[in-house]
Amino acid sequence: MMKEFKITNLRTETYLGNVTVAEDTVSRMKGLLGTKELLPFQGIILKPCKQVHTVAMHYPISVWYVNRRLQIIRIVDKLLPWRVSPYDPFSHLIIEFPQKWADITGTATGDYLECI
């Protein structure tokens, strides 16, 4: 069973959603593959992770690169299906949310997150 956390943006004090954590090889490889959509306030953390893809996915996602201090270091707010995200050597984990989730929630690069 994967762990689940509530994520909050500390700068805006905005609740961002519930996320499950994929930190073993099999769950990281599966990620969101086989899902039909990612609902608002729903996401997945891939840990460790420096790059993701949307090959065989049918919907775009928002990709947030996060360092070890839980600071967002890069956001790709709409990664289309059948694409590969940029590689970021400084990323410790990646959070995948519904497309445009950073814009919708007012989240920006440099923001810190809290996981409860």
Peptide bond into 89 cis (omega under 30): no
For the question of whether the overall pTM of this predicted structure is more than 0.85, the answer is yes
Q: What is the pLDDT of residues 48-57, one digit of tens each?
A: 999 999 999 9
CB crowding 58-75: b at 16 or more within 10 Å, else e = eebbbbbbbeeeebbebb
CA-closest candidate to residue 37, choices 96, 102, 98: 98
Residue 18's H or E segment, with its range, is: strand 14-22
All structural domains of the chain = 4-115 (2.60.120.1140)
Higher pLDDT pick, 92 / 37: 92
Asked if residue 1 has pLDDT above 90, the reply is: no
Q: What is the pLDDT of residues 14-47, one digit of tens each?
A: 999 999 999 888 777 777 777 888 999 999 999 9
Residue 96 and residue 113: Cα distance in Å, rounded? 14
